[in-house]
Amino acid sequence: MRLEPYRKVTTDRRKTFARLIVEMPISDLEEFDQWAGSKGYASRADAVRQVLAKSMSEEAASSA
pLDDT in tens, 29-62: 888 888 889 989 888 888 888 888 887 788 778 8
Spatial CA neighbour of 2 closest among 20, 26, 18, 25: 18
- Average of pLDDT values for 19-23? 71
pLDDT in tens, 1-14: 454 544 454 556 66
